[in-house]
Structure 1
């Protein structure tokens, strides 16, 4: 079962290791990635396009005027829902990942490696919600997944992905 991951970028040129990230993404076939460029002023968008050229599972949503992270997440969600039939969709903001000292490339590898645990995390979240999730509320935070230390199956993986 494929999962979707929406990744929000804003001026992250220095944080993207283009060749390394593209190489990793080529081997991750069970994750559909939607890169959302939230009006970057640096070369972030060009780097994302370079990655997309070599990776079939990557799409890009370009936002021309800077919007809130929540609005950028919704833009990515609309794209993913309109183009893929996925039951499990998470999101990441690269700038928030940085503040928590997570490395994007390693996080994506971990998501691929622990995809089943991620799906269980999403199912548990949906079951614990008192109201039926709407389109945008059904998208879960991958950062919450990474920070959740109750997942025994993750073990020391969280420590491995810190920069």
Structure 2
């Protein structure tokens, strides 16, 4: 049984390095990634399709009318649960990231580096109220709980101080 990761994108063409994304994603195993384009007005959707074409474990969902981050996550979750037998499903939205220092490359790198921890996700690690899908969890919140030393994760939470 695999674990899925949903990443929500909106107008991220300038921040995306598709070659780096492909290189990092090809190093993941037992993770299914769903890249959700939330009504981007630039070429983000085209770049996401390029990544999908090169990676067997990537799906792309195109949301044609802009939705809130959680509505876009739910669209990705519905797709993932209908297509795959998943143990857990994590999510992250690029809109919520502090990408000034590490960019989107930092996000995909932290997923690759922590794939074993993500695969060993324990629902009890996060004390979170139940959602529409009980196995849906915030990837950054989970990684923050288990990996205090990760620079990318720490930078994400500095802006909340």
TM-score in same-fold range (> 0.5): yes
| Match status 1:19 vs 2:19 | yes
- Match runs of 1:2-151 below 5 Å: 2-98=2-98, 102-125=102-125, 128=127, 133=130, 135-148=132-145, 151=146
In structure 1, stretches of 5+ residues that fail to align are none
Q: 2:151 aligns with which of 142, 159, 162?
A: 159
TM-score computed with the length of structure 1 as normaliser? 0.81
Q: CA deviation at 1:25?
A: 1.1
CA contact (8 A) 2:102 2:152 kept: no
Residues 24, 137 of structure 1: alpha-carbon distance in 2 compared, 3 angstrom cutoff: same
Q: CA deviation at 1:89?
A: 0.8
In 1, distance between residues paired with 2:18 and 2:136?
26
In structure 2, stretches of 5+ residues that fail to align are 157-161
53-62 vs 115-124, greater mean Cα deviation? 115-124
In 1, distance between residues paired with 2:142 and 2:36?
20
Give secondary structure in 2 for the equivalent of 1:14: helix
In 2, distance between residues paired with 1:138 and 1:123?
7
Structure 1 residues 18-46: Cα deviation after superposition (integer angstroms, max 9, x where no partner): 11111111121221000110100001001
CA contact (8 A) 1:10 1:44 kept: yes
Give secondary structure in 2 for the equivalent of 1:87: strand
Q: CA deviation at 1:74?
A: 0.5
Give secondary structure in 2 for the equivalent of 1:35: strand
Q: CA RMSD in A?
A: 2.5
CA contact (8 A) 1:35 1:61 kept: yes
Residues 122, 105 of structure 1: alpha-carbon distance in 2 compared, 3 angstrom cutoff: farther
How many pairs are equivalent?
155
In 1, distance between residues paired with 2:119 and 2:57?
19
Residues 12, 139 of structure 1: alpha-carbon distance in 2 compared, 3 angstrom cutoff: same
CA contact (8 A) 2:21 2:108 kept: no
